Amino acid sequence: MLGLLLVIAAGSFAGLQASLKLGRREKNLELFSRFVQNAETEIQFSGMPVADVVERHGGELSFLRRCTELCREGMDFSGAWDQAVSEDPGFSDGDASLLLEFGKGFGATDVQGQAAHCRLTLELTRQRLKDAREERRQKARLYRMLGVLGGIGTALFFC
């Protein structure tokens, strides 16, 4: 009996994890959107190097903290950005592509070019955030229910 309850709990936990992953993606996109806004302002008004912008405004996102660590260890910004994005599981593949494209152009042009690059990325991020919110709204409850029902179904199979 205890084993059956553990199977049900495992299924429920798997559904909950899938549901939480959707929420984590939404939160990460919100934080990245805020970072891009701050980066645009910082570049326009202070001309700060991009590695310093990431260090100053990226504390809330794990991949930005990782990028800062890699830069401190001597890695060039572009390589640090790419590695940090590839190590972070909190984004979808499409989100990661957006982040990688942003990193390629971040710091590569003059101040006006950087501002335009940030605005474009901000618009694309906002669209992805809107999609992530809709996906979470539609699928989070479904994943939790599928986990519970899958656990119950598996437990019934073993009875």
Distances from the Cα of 35 to the Cα of 32, 50, 59, 122, angstroms: 5, 12, 9, 9
Query: How many helices (H) and strands (E) are present in the chain, helices listed first?
Result: 6, 0
Q: How many domains does the chain have?
A: 1
Residue 48 has which token pair?
């700060």
Cβ-proximal residues to 149 (8 Å cutoff; 6+ apart), any chain: 11
Average pLDDT over residues 89-108: 87
Question: Which residues constitute the domain of residue 40?
Answer: 2-158
Confidence category of residue 105, pLDDT binned at 50, 70, 90: confident
Q: How far is CA 40 from CA 35, 50, 53, 64, 112, in A?
A: 9, 10, 9, 16, 10
Q: Which one has a higher pLDDT value, 88 or 33?
A: 33
Say whether pLDDT at 109 is over 80.
no
pLDDT band at 132 (very low <50, low <70, confident <90, very high): very high
Give the pLDDT of residue 99. Answer: 92
Give the global pTM.
0.79
